[in-house]
């Protein structure tokens, strides 16, 4: 496996973004994340699809999935330009998993497991610094600088209501994708409730073992 092609899957708040950045840095692959791509294109006009909402923003703020066609196109374009990747936030339903199988092959699927209670704690306490994009947490990690503290914002979809909805969507729609990959030889399940450094140790060992195979 020269430049690995990896999917990381798990509920919102499981630490996919953090671990994807570690993988990107360690293995020199591209971090492709549909959540960030959609956040940068929130107000794109998708009214031509004639679906429930006219922009990605409306789906995201409600904690619902953005229509497959929009997301599939973002991923297809990003994959065509990547030499090795860590794909984060996709596929989120079985249709997207089928679409991905047509686009490319995977070396590994990493599944992060975290309890619902812990996810609610992580997500509702999460705050973002709008100037730097740095992520903080009201309980675990606040900035020392009062000026930074004051400007912190909560992501619209980190409200308690949207978080509950996003976790329901994961359980109903994305958990079947995890089951779909479970018997696949590159599938590895990781306990995402550990300290992020311990999660990273486990992921790195799993990838290195797979590379050596």
| Residues of this chain that bind ligand AMP (CB under 6 A) | 12, 34-35, 38, 59-60, 63-66, 71, 89-90, 92, 96, 157, 166
- Which one is catalytic: 42, 116, 151, 155? 155
Question: Min. distance of Cβ 212 from ligand AMP in angstroms?
Answer: 31
The minimum distance between CB 134 and ligand AMP, in angstroms, equals 16
116 is catalytic: no
Q: Could you tell me which of 121, 149, 120 has the C-alpha nearest to residue 136?
A: 149
Buried b (16+ CB within 10 A) or exposed e, 92-130: bbeebbebbeeeeebbbbbbbebeeeebebbbbbbbbbe
Distances (CA, A) of 161 to 62, 156, 165, 166, 171: 9, 10, 6, 9, 16
Gap between the Cα atoms of 168 and 178, Å rounded = 15
Active-site residue (options: 16, 57, 122, 127): 16
| Catalytic residue check, 16 | yes
Q: In the annotation, is 122 catalytic? A: no
- As measured in angstroms, the least distance from the Cβ of 115 to ligand AMP is 17
Q: Active-site residue 126, yes or no?
A: yes
Q: 44 or 209, CB closer to ligand AMP?
A: 44
Nearest C-alpha neighbor of 78 from the set 91, 70, 68, 87: 87
Q: Is 42 a catalytic residue?
A: no
Of the two residues 49 and 209, which places its CB atom closer to ligand AMP in the complex?
49
Instruction: Give the active site residues.
Output: 16, 92, 126, 155, 166
């Amino acid at each position: 496996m020269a430049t690995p092609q990896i999917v990381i899957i798990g509920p919102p708040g499981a630490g996919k973004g953090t671990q994807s950045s570690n993988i990107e840095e360690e293995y020199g692959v591209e971090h492709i994340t549909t959540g960030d791509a959609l956040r940068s294109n929130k107000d794109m006009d998708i009214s031509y699809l004639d679906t429930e909402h006219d922009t990605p923003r409306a789906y995201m703020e409600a904690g619902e999935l953005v229509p497959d066609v929009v997301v599939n196109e973002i991923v297809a374009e990003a994959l065509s330009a990547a030499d090795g990747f860590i794909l984060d936030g996709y596929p989120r339903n079985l249709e997207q998993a089928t679409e991905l199988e047509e686009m490319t092959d995977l070396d590994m699927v990493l599944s992060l497991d975290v309890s619902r209670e812990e996810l609610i704690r992580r997500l509702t306490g999460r705050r973002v610094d709008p100037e730097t994009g740095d992520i903080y947490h009201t309980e675990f990690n606040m900035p020392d600088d009062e000026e930074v503290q004051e400007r912190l914002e909560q992501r619209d979809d980190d409200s308690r209501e949207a978080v509950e909805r996003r976790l329901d969507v994961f359980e109903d729609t994305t958990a079947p994708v995890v089951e779909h990959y479970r018997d696949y030889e590159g599938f590895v399940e990781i306990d995402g409730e550990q300290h992020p450094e311990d999660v990273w140790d486990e992921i790195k060992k799993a990838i290195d073992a797979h590379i050596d195979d």
